[in-house]
Structure 1
Amino acid sequence: MEDQLAVLATTAANTVVSSLTTDAWERVRERVVGVWRRHRPAEADEVESATDDAVDVLRGSPGENEESRLVAAWEERFRLLLDAEPAARRALTALVDELSAGQGESAPQRIDMKAEARDSGTVYQAGHTINVHRP
């Protein structure tokens, strides 16, 4: 594999795995699966399933080893795609650019919140702005 394609596969794997930890994971899945639907449609359902599995692992507060395994698996998946379909390079580059742009300051962040109300208490939680109007 050409060095530039290997770098692209590695960058895509890291970018996709880190993007799957955000609130925008469904859009990420849609875009990743879309690349396969255009270039390797027979594998699109498998990639969609792999994306959902990765999200499940990432939601479970994975250790560094689990996250590294996910990145390695996605890197291999992207390498195989690029080897089989060199035309996928443009789509994969666009995907990386789009996801990287979304990881800036305005990107959705993963927020885990837990609350428990007791003794007639009320809990308000929000990942951003909240307006509460009570009489």
Structure 2
Amino acid sequence: MVNPEQLTALAGTAGTTIVSLMATEAWQRTRDGVTAIWRRVHPERVDSVAGELDLTREQVLAARNDGDAQTEEELGTEWRGRVRRLLVDDPGIAQELRGLLDELSPARTENGSTYNVHMTAEAKGNGRIYQAGRDQHIKES
């Protein structure tokens, strides 16, 4: 069973990944994978979701062309919400979604093998958070 915090984290990763891949060569595979997952939960919405993905891609490409990072972030927020609601409707798709994300955006080591990094942090007060999936160098004065 996946708890609500895990669903929210997964939705966040998925929404961000979906939108960031819209402007890459992995776009068609991303679109196919997302619509396949949607089909399992809401088959009646697949055509609508496919159209929304296509429209969002056009908006991402335009935003990148214009140097408009805020629009791309807003689109990511929209997709994070959509994916979270999908996961709430059927938490059983979490594993399939993780598999799609692993397939679409694997982190590669220098020798070509893959690894996954999941980080969660919360700072309070004057706390600082430094996270890295690999090397990190911080110099403070």
TM-score between the two structures when normalised by the length of structure 2: 0.68
> What is the CA–CA distance in structure 2 between the aligned matches of 1:42 and 1:104, rounded to whole Å?
37
> What is the CA–CA distance in structure 1 between the aligned matches of 2:52 and 2:93, rounded to whole Å?
19
Q: Does the 8 A contact of 1:82 with 1:88 survive in 2?
A: yes
> What is the CA–CA distance in structure 1 between the aligned matches of 2:7 and 2:49, rounded to whole Å?
19
> What is the CA–CA distance in structure 1 between the aligned matches of 2:108 and 2:33, rounded to whole Å?
18
The percentage of aligned residue pairs carrying the same residue is 34
Larger Rg: 1 or 2? 1
| Unpaired runs of at least 5, structure 1 | 107-135
The one of the two structures with greater contact order (alpha-carbon pairs below 8 A, sep at least 6) is 1
- Number of the residue aligned with 2:13: 11
Residue pairs, 1:67-78, within 5 angstroms: 67-78=72-83
1:31 partner SS: helix
Paired residues, number: 105
- Number of the residue aligned with 2:46: 44
Matched, 1:98 2:103: yes
- Number of the residue aligned with 2:56: 54
- Number of the residue aligned with 1:89: 94
| Unpaired runs of at least 5, structure 2 | 113-141
Q: Does the 8 A contact of 1:14 with 1:71 survive in 2?
A: yes
**Which is worse superposed, 38-47 or 69-78?**
38-47
RMSD: 1.9
Q: What's the CA shift for 1:85? A: 0.8
Q: Does the 8 A contact of 2:12 with 2:80 survive in 1?
A: yes
TM-score between the two structures when normalised by the length of structure 1: 0.71
Q: What's the CA shift for 1:24? A: 2.3
Q: Does the 8 A contact of 2:23 with 2:60 survive in 1?
A: yes
Runs of 4+ in structure 1 deviating by more than 6 angstroms, as ranges, are: none
